[in-house]
């Protein structure tokens, strides 16, 4: 991983300006994103991924993926099962570190900082890049403690009233405040599935991240709860960059500004959502969205 | 048409194959029920024999003596030097004035326990004013009298085959008629240590010995076991060393316990020079024995914590240690506690390794500290079962009952803890 990074950018500094990076990126882009069609890169990205390969032992799960995540956008990642979209998502906040056989090469930058640099600590990284999982996974603690846990361990608050404030605003942003304000001490697990997922979203935004990663956030929810969560994602876009992995193409079409199509570990096409769904450039994308496979 | 007819027939009269299948199912179910019934029958049989043998040990026979604390016996200033056994004998002689021959007198003295003399001494030392008075004193009867009262000695067998002579039977009947012989709750059994005299033997020493031993075991094996399980499950890299350690822990769980006793003898006693027969060494040996159980149970309960909880914690930026301490360990605790209590129950019932470190000695004193020589409950049972006196049979069963009671309480506690700390989602 480190060798690949330094090969890509000799004497790579921990922080580099957006300007310098975009110059370099242009020269690289011609080679590395050769097999990605569409518009994977944006002008002022929040996150920049270049030549990312992911291996599980010898097996390569992600091949040479380069893509940007814009500020205040919802980027949807679609593709058939096993295409590596979840694996790629979990590289963005180094959740793959927990899998010992997993190896990531290439560079992933958050605000110009290589998040795989040896001196980068995953704890602040995950505070900046929050994550919402497929299955709602509230802690078996009270609703209040679920939200307060992140701010507590990161020392974001000085006293109880500040913490109360964070809990309240997070729940409000997640659209859950009205439903739970009278029972903040009930266990988080006592909520319904959709409420639990919104609780998990509230938990993620309580530590004010810059990017929120969502791994099929609605696949365990019923259609009504799904609609509520989708609305919430649209609202959250004003403050956060959101990367959503989803199985449902319609969902990608409804909530995202840009869509990335993965196929067998390759990033086939990235483009504005309406373009991907109406006029895809690549044959594989077209086959997938027209339901020929997947 | 034809086709539908056969289908209907199939539904109405099940085919041979189906009938055979149902029969096989029934047979299988019956086998299961038979196995359970058989094992329950054995358990009930065990409990029944132990209870019917042991329940009488909680009662004890007492004889009321009329004791004259005459001044001439206490001429000496030193109260301890007085002839208390003589006082007991004298009391018996006055109560049964008709007994004259030396042989009969000996039989008469045999009615009361040697403890009677100690009791009189205690009374005098507690209150010297009773010297010169006549007191009615209840003293322990001899174990043979006790056995007779509990109908464990048969009056109908020929005199030569019985431990109580005809003439003693007469005296006893006389005492009963006078209301001078009674049986009531046996406090001695719970308040005293071991003794050569069955009527004086108690399990307090063994209970305290077991308590101290288990305290050491718990204090060492729980933290070490939990720490080892957490490290192996959550932090250890998966490589050949970890595999080797895991295999060895599993092997240790299967090592015969007497080997741990030999290890304790070689290391704790011979090499470290710790005192023999003591709860501290016993506790160390039992720690070695229970550690694998606790580690294996701990790892299993850590494994059963859903990975989504770990992901949730890591996802909000908790470090590995925070994830384990704040989320995983609390969820795994009920399973770990259950494993620990089951390990403790196993340690409570263990005899073999303790024989090796000298906890099998005959110890009368009740241990007061971790380094006092002590016996433990199962060893006490083993020692009593070895004694020839008839009265020790019921003591053995009674001690088993006490041990079983402790085990049931501990297992119940394990269930309660699991219920209490179990977090549902």
Give tens-digit pLDDT for A181-231. Answer: 899 999 998 999 889 999 999 999 999 999 999 999 988 888 888 998 899
pLDDT tens per residue, range B354-381: 999 988 888 888 999 899 999 999 999 9
CB contact under 8 A, B317 and A126: yes
Rounded to the nearest 5°, which phi and psi values hold at B358?
A: 85, 15
Tokens of A276: 């991907």
Cα gap A166→B64, rounded to integer Å: 80
Q: For residue B325, with 0-12 CB atoms within 10 Å meaning exposed, 13-18 middle and 19 or more buried, which class applies? A: middle
Q: Is the model's pLDDT at A57 over the cut of 60?
A: yes
Residue with tokens 């149902």: B22
How many Cβ pairs within 8 Å bridge chains A and B? 70
pLDDT tens per residue, range A115-143: 999 898 888 899 999 999 999 999 999 99
| Gap from A53 CA to chain B (nearest CA, Å) | 22
pLDDT value at residue A272 = 92
Chain A residues whose C-beta sits inside 8 Å of any chain B C-beta: 93, 95, 98, 100, 122-127, 130-133, 135, 137-140, 149-150, 153-154, 187, 189, 200, 203-204, 206-207
B328 CB neighbours in chain A (<8 A) are none
CB contact under 8 A, A203 and B312: yes
Q: Is the model's pLDDT at A13 over the cut of 60?
A: no
CB contact under 8 A, B312 and A139: yes
pLDDT tens per residue, range B312-361: 999 998 989 999 999 999 999 988 998 999 899 999 999 999 999 988 88
Look up residue B70 and give its DSSP letter: -
Interface residue of B315, B320, B421, B425 to substitute, partner A, most A CBs within 10 Å:
B315
B312 CB neighbours in chain A (<8 A) are 133, 137-139, 200, 203
**DSSP strands (E only) in B16-133:** 59-68
Say if residues B289 and B351 touch (Cβ distance below 8 Å).
no
Name the strands in the sheet holding B134-140, side by side, starting at the edge strand that comes first in the sequence.
B134-140, B59-68, B181-185
Look up residue A187 and give its DSSP letter: B
Say if residues A150 and A206 touch (Cβ distance below 8 Å).
yes
| Gap from A48 CA to chain B (nearest CA, Å) | 20
Continuous segment of H or E residues that includes residue A53:
strand A45-56
Say yes or no: B94 contacts chain A, CB-CB below 8 A: no
Q: Is the model's pLDDT at B410 over the cut of 80?
A: yes
Say yes or no: B312 contacts chain A, CB-CB below 8 A: yes
| Gap from A100 CA to chain B (nearest CA, Å) | 8
Tokens of B50: 């132990």
CB contact under 8 A, A133 and B312: yes
Mean pLDDT score of chain B, rounded to an integer? 89
Across the interface, which of A98, A125, A137 has its CB nearest the CB of B312?
A137
CA nearest to A207 within chain B: B316
φ/ψ region of A92 (left if φ > 0, alpha if ψ in -120 to 50, else beta) reads alpha
pLDDT value at residue A260 = 93
pLDDT value at residue A161 = 92
Q: Is the model's pLDDT at B199 over the cut of 60?
A: yes
Say if residues B141 and B63 touch (Cβ distance below 8 Å).
yes
Say if residues B226 and B294 touch (Cβ distance below 8 Å).
yes
Q: Is the model's pLDDT at B230 over the cut of 50?
A: yes
pLDDT value at residue B360 = 86
Cα gap B276→B282, rounded to integer Å: 9
Across the interface, which of A95, A132, A200 has its CB nearest the CB of B314?
A95
A142 CB neighbours in chain B (<8 A) are none
Rounded to the nearest 5°, which phi and psi values hold at A99?
A: -95, 115
Confidence of residue B6 (pLDDT cuts 50, 70, 90): low
Q: Is the model's pLDDT at B152 over the cut of 80?
A: yes
Rounded to the nearest 5°, which phi and psi values hold at B90?
A: -60, -40
pLDDT value at residue B151 = 86
CB atoms within 10 A of CB B84: 21
| Gap from A275 CA to chain B (nearest CA, Å) | 33
Q: Is the model's pLDDT at A27 over the cut of 80?
A: no
Across the interface, which of A135, A149, A189 has its CB nearest the CB of B316?
A149
Interface residue of A98, A101, A127, A139 to substitute, partner B, most B CBs within 10 Å:
A139
Task: Calculate ∠ Cα B231-B234-B240, nearest 5°.
Answer: 75
pLDDT value at residue A139 = 92
pLDDT value at residue B4 = 52
Say if residues B137 and B67 touch (Cβ distance below 8 Å).
yes
Among A212-216, B207-211, B385-389, whose mean pLDDT is lowest? B385-389
Q: What is the mean pLDDT of residues B65-87?
A: 84
Residues in a beta bridge with A47: A69, A110
A149 CB neighbours in chain B (<8 A) are 313, 316, 318, 326
Which of B69, B82, B66 lies closest to B129 in space, CA to CA?
A: B69
* Terminal alpha carbon distance of chain A: 31
Say yes or no: B300 contacts chain A, CB-CB below 8 A: no
pLDDT tens per residue, range B38-61: 999 999 999 999 999 899 999 999
pLDDT value at residue A30 = 37
Which of B163, B141, B137 lies closest to B67 in space, CA to CA?
A: B137
Q: What is the mean pLDDT of residues B25-31?
A: 96
Which of B360, B402, B353 lies closest to B194 in space, CA to CA?
A: B360
Say if residues A175 and A118 touch (Cβ distance below 8 Å).
no
B242 CB neighbours in chain A (<8 A) are none
Q: For residue B246, with 0-12 CB atoms within 10 Å meaning exposed, 13-18 middle and 19 or more buried, which class applies? A: middle
Q: Is the model's pLDDT at A178 over the cut of 80?
A: yes
B238 CB neighbours in chain A (<8 A) are 100
Which of B119, B129, B63, B126 lies closest to B87 in space, CA to CA?
A: B119
Return the percentage of chain A with pLDDT > 70, whole number.
Answer: 88
CA nearest to A134 within chain B: B308
Cα gap B384→B110, rounded to integer Å: 22
Say if residues A293 and A268 touch (Cβ distance below 8 Å).
no
B423 CB neighbours in chain A (<8 A) are 140
CB contact under 8 A, A203 and B316: yes
pLDDT tens per residue, range B265-314: 999 999 999 999 999 999 999 999 999 999 999 999 999 999 999 999 99
Across the interface, which of A126, A130, A137 has its CB nearest the CB of B309?
A137
Rounded to the nearest 5°, which phi and psi values hold at B374?
A: -150, 160
Say yes or no: B309 contacts chain A, CB-CB below 8 A: yes
* Terminal alpha carbon distance of chain B: 55
Of residues A89 and B388, the one with the higher pLDDT is A89
Cα gap B242→B321, rounded to integer Å: 19
Confidence of residue B2 (pLDDT cuts 50, 70, 90): low
**DSSP strands (E only) in B187-233:** none
Say yes or no: B239 contacts chain A, CB-CB below 8 A: no
Q: Please give the CATH topology (third level) of the domain spanning A2-289.
A: Rossmann fold (3.40.50)
Q: What is the mean pLDDT of residues B169-182?
A: 90
Name the strands in the sheet holding A241-245, side by side, starting at the edge strand that comes first in the sequence.
A37-38, A266-272, A258-263, A74-78, A241-245, A211-215, A129-132
- What three-state secondary structure class fits A38? strand
| Gap from B183 CA to chain A (nearest CA, Å) | 58
Confidence of residue A34 (pLDDT cuts 50, 70, 90): very low
């Amino acid at each position: 991983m480190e060798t690949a990074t330094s090969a890509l950018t000799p004497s790579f500094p921990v922080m580099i300006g957006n300007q310098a990076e975009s110059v370099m990126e242009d020269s690289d882009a011609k080679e590395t994103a050769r097999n990605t069609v569409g518009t994977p890169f944006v002008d002022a990205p929040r996150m920049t991924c270049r030549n990312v390969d992911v291996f599980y032992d010898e097996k390569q799960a992600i091949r040479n993926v380069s893509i940007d995540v814009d500020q205040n956008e919802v980027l949807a990642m679609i593709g058939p099962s096993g295409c590596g979209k979840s694996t790629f998502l979990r590289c963005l906040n180094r959740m793959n570190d927990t899998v010992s056989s997993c190896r990531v090469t290439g560079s992933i930058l958050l605000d110009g900082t290589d998040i795989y640099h040896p001196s980068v600590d995953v704890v602040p990284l995950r505070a900046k890049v929050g994550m919402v999982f497929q299955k709602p996974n509230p802690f078996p603690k009270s609703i209040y403690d679920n939200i307060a846990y992140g701010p507590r361990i990161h020392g974001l608050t000085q006293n109880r009233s500040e913490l109360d404030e964070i809990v309240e605003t997070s729940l409000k942003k997640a659209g859950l405040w009205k439903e739970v304000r009278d029972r903040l001490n009930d266990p988080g697990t006592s909520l319904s599935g959709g409420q639990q997922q919104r609780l998990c979203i509230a938990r993620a935004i309580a530590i004010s991240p810059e990017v929120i990663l969502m791994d099929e956030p609605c696949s365990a929810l019923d259609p009504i709860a799904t609609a509520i969560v989708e609305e919430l994602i649209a609202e959250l876009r004003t403050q956060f960059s959101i990367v959503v992995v989803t199985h449902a193409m319609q969902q990608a079409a409804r909530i995202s500004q840009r869509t990335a199509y993965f196929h067998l570990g390759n990033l086939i096409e990235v483009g504005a959502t309406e373009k991907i769904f109406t006029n895809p450039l690549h044959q594989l994308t077209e086959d997938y969205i027209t339901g020929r496979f997947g | 048409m034809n086709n539908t007819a056969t289908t209907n027939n199939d539904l109405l009269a099940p085919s041979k194959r189906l009938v055979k299948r149902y029969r096989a199912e029934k047979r299988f179910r019956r086998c299961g029920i038979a196995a359970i019934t058989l094992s329950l029958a054995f358990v009930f049989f065990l409990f029944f024999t132990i209870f019917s043998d042991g329940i009488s040990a909680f009662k004890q026979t007492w004889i009321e003596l009329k004791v004259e604390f005459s001044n001439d016996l206490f001429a000496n200033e030193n109260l301890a030097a007085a002839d208390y056994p003589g006082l007991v004998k004298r009391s018996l002689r006055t109560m049964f004035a008709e007994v004259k021959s030396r042989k009969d007198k000996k039989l008469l003295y045999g009615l009361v326990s040697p403890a009677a003399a100690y009791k009189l001494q205690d009374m005098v030392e507690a209150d010297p004013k009773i010297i010169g008075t006549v007191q009615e004193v209840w003293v322990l009867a001899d174990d043979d009298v006790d056995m007779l009262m509990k109908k464990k000695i048969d009056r109908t067998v020929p005199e030569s085959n019985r431990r109580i002579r005809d003439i003693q039977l007469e005296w006893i009947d006389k005492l009963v008629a006078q209301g001078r012989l009674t049986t009531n709750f046996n406090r001695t059994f719970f308040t005293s240590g071991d003794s050569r005299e069955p009527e004086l033997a108690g399990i307090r020493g063994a209970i305290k010995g077991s308590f101290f031993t288990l305290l050491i075991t718990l204090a060492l094996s729980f933290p070490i076991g939990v720490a080892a399980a957490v490290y192996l499950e959550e932090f250890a890299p998966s490589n050949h060393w970890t595999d080797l350690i895991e295999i060895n822990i599993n092997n240790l769980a299967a090592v015969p316990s007497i080997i741990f006793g030999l290890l304790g003898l070689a290391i704790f006693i011979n090499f470290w020079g710790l005192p023999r027969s003591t709860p501290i060494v016993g506790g160390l040996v039992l720690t070695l024995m229970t550690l694998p159980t606790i580690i294996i149970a701990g790892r299993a309960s850590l494994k059963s914590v859903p990975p989504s909880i770990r992901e949730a914690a890591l996802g909000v930026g908790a470090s590995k240690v925070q994830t384990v301490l704040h989320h995983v360990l609390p969820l795994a605790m009920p399973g770990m506690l259950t494993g620990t209590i089951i390990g403790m129950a196993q340690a409570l019932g263990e005899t073999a390794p303790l024989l090796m470190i000298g906890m099998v000695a005959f110890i009368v004193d009740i241990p007061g500290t971790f380094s006092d020589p002590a016996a433990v409950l199962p060893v006490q049972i083993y020692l009593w079962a070895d004694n020839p006196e008839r009265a020790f049979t019921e003591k053995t069963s009674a001690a088993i009952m006490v041990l079983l009671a402790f085990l049931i309480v501990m297992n119940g506690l394990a269930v309660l803890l699991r219920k209490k700390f179990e977090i549902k989602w």
